[in-house]
Structure 1
């Protein structure tokens, strides 16, 4: 069990989300950086989708009430346990009474704390994720608050390890040949042309050619981008259509909106493009004010990236299991 000692707004319990309910108006929710959750869970020995804490407002502190194995993934920066710096993307063991603190990371937006067994909150529609707008899921459907206590679910093959435990090379480094590098502070995000792209004529080129900035009017539902407005060449009336994370809509004001983890389930603004799924975690780690540009992609490229990420996750799992078997044999 853990107890929250210090927290800010919008720190929540999240897993990989609850897809399959958009037809009844329920957003999938889930972690903004799902890859960080997967890797943390794989390191510990949980199912990939075990519930974790998503921290996006810092500082954040919790106290361990029981022994626990845990890992901190996601944002750059070093967490501390009783003031001692810890290696991120690595398993650690905590004893009752010890305090884990996460401070403001230097560049990235969100950190994830994954625990052996995962967090024991109710499963609703197949997920433990918090849906803040709906007020359900996670920890009573709300952000974490000081004094909250949360237990751990049943541990599968999670094994307490020494502080210098199993670690993974973070995705940004391990997959640097797969994900385009940040150039002059601008994050390249790959996207595929969407249904209404042709409506924008020359403004379509402006969409791809300019640098956009994530505005302060952004949250887990969507990122609103600031830049030179783009508009369709003719007024068009559209029926509402289904929406998933990654869809880029252009409202009448001309500044695009990227749908994110808490994406609306339907909408009627023209779609100019869609971010490939494997680039969404990079957006999830982009702060307010970050600059980005869109790079034309293809379904074939998106599939190749997906396969590379799957190989990376499988490699972390294979290495983790190998080390655990060796430790058990030595015990």
Structure 2
């Protein structure tokens, strides 16, 4: 092994497209115009971190398009959650949502998503980089956070935190993606005519190839407002569903701006934002209307699911 890379690190051999360092993002700064950023599928990153004994907010890798390869420069425990990326460790297939062990020098290869869109790689100790505004999340628009504020490139070295020690590999059951995304009505919902309201909930929306980490742009039958007057700029956040003048809805995601002027017809509940993140370009999904009570119950269920994972951790002390 070359002395060029510390033993407590990984080296990127193939970077894929838009692979980034992400944690759970920057919170409490939207009033300053600072985007949240962080993992688009927060649930999968949290699950992967739980499996390797990291805090939920530890930084991992968000990988969108393969092939992606890293080499471990210390013995490491790792977990892959989210999409199935056809992972192999020195030629041996690795199941997702399991805690696996890699020896120093071994190479992990991720071919690419078979069905969903993103996989999250957590390594014991977490990815270590200089926090920016309280987070290691990469914001590609602002060029801050993560590794030099950019997507990963071949040859990048990423430092790791303190190694953990476990007795065994374990696996858990992951959520299954479905093309139904729960949402509540937005502040300007009543401004849309009855026909448009019906179309919003009943049609299948297609994810446009113009989508990115700021927003998923959708394609469907246009939905129109009865009131065409301009709106004053207002607060927006991940999950808000806006409708521009062309009538094509878009769902704001982690890197979205903090204010906007398009009408907000709905808001995806936080417990289902991961479904948006895992919907591939060109695929369809439908919005399902729920109320605030259901949204809250879904969020509590999410926290209970993650809490149960702690029982799988048998860290040696």
Fold conserved (TM > 0.5)?
yes
- The answer to whether structure 1 residue 193 and structure 2 residue 185 are counterparts is yes
- How many residues matched? 308
1:170 aligned residue: 174
Alignment of 1:34-183 (within 5 A): 34-155=42-163, 158-162=164-168, 165-172=169-176, 182=178
Q: CA contact under 8 A between 1:67 and 1:93: conserved in structure 2? A: yes
Change (3 A) 1:85 1:161: farther
SS in 2 for 1:59: strand
Deviation of 1:17 (Å): 0.5
1:33 aligned residue: 41
Q: CA contact under 8 A between 2:65 and 2:113: conserved in structure 1? A: no
1:252 aligned residue: 245
What TM-score results when the alignment is normalised by the length of structure 2? 0.94
SS in 2 for 1:7: strand
Deviation of 1:240 (Å): 0.8
Q: CA contact under 8 A between 2:181 and 2:272: conserved in structure 1? A: yes
Deviations 1:267-315 (A, max 9, x none): 0000100000100011111111110111111101011111111111111
Change (3 A) 1:15 1:281: same
Over aligned residues, Cα RMSD in angstroms?
A: 1.4
What stretches of structure 1 of length at least 5 have no aligned partner?
Answer: 173-180
SS in 1 for 2:301: helix
SS in 2 for 1:171: coil
Q: CA contact under 8 A between 2:15 and 2:154: conserved in structure 1? A: yes
What stretches of structure 2 of length at least 5 have no aligned partner?
Answer: 1-8
Deviation of 1:230 (Å): 0.8
Match of 1:4 among 12, 17, 21: 12
Question: Is the helix fraction higher in 1 or 2?
Answer: 1
Deviations 1:24-69 (A, max 9, x none): 2110100011111111111111100100010001110011112111
Deviation of 1:153 (Å): 1.9
Tell me, in whole angstroms, the C-alpha distance in 1 between the residues paired with 2:62 and 2:141. Answer: 16
2:25 aligned residue: 17
SS in 2 for 1:191: strand
SS in 1 for 2:184: strand
- The answer to whether structure 1 residue 210 and structure 2 residue 203 are counterparts is yes
Tell me, in whole angstroms, the C-alpha distance in 1 between the residues paired with 2:135 and 2:167. Answer: 28
Tell me, in whole angstroms, the C-alpha distance in 2 between the residues paired with 1:280 and 1:262. Answer: 13
What TM-score results when the alignment is normalised by the length of structure 1? 0.90
Tell me, in whole angstroms, the C-alpha distance in 2 between the residues paired with 1:5 and 1:160. Answer: 27
2:3 aligned residue: none
2:4 aligned residue: none
Tell me, in whole angstroms, the C-alpha distance in 2 between the residues paired with 1:105 and 1:43. Answer: 21
